[in-house]
């Protein structure tokens, strides 16, 4: 024989379903938030890595210029700048460009 459903058991069941749904929605929200934070973390790590590489290159240039100032002559410095930045060569010099991409 079945017992009649009382008024007290129904609201508890509805609250239980609402509570479960609320917990589920909160869990989905947290998973999505964690995914976004993970993507942002990866992007910031990439930016940090690029900034570190740029810093190393700049420090290397500074060290090179300091060594040149201490040990080299001004004519060596001028020649190297003319070759690297301006693309100048001596008139009897032949320049080859590697187009293979290696």
Sequence spans of domains, the chain? 11-84
Q: Give the pLDDT band (50/70/90) at residue 86.
A: confident
| CB 53, CB 59: distance < 8 Å | no
> Is the pTM for the entire model greater than 0.85?
no
Question: Is pLDDT of 71 > 80?
Answer: no
The SS3 call for residue 90 is coil
pLDDT tens column, 73-83: 777 777 877 88
Quote the CA–CA distance of 38 and 56 in Å, as a whole number: 27
Alpha-carbon distance of 84 to 80, in angstroms, equals 6
Kindly report, residue by residue over 53-67, the tens digit of the pLDDT. Answer: 999 999 999 988 887
């Amino acid at each position: 024989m079945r017992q009649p459903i009382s008024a007290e058991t129904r609201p508890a069941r509805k609250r239980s379903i609402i509570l479960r749904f609320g917990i589920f929605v909160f869990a989905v929200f947290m998973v999505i938030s964690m995914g976004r934070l993970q993507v942002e973390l990866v992007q910031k790590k990439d930016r940090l890595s690029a900034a570190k590489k740029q810093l190393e290159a700049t420090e290397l240039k500074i060290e090179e210029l300091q060594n040149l100032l201490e040990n080299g002559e001004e004519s060596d410095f001028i020649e190297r700048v003319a070759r690297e930045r301006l693309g100048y060569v001596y008139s009897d010099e032949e320049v080859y460009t590697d187009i293979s991409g290696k």
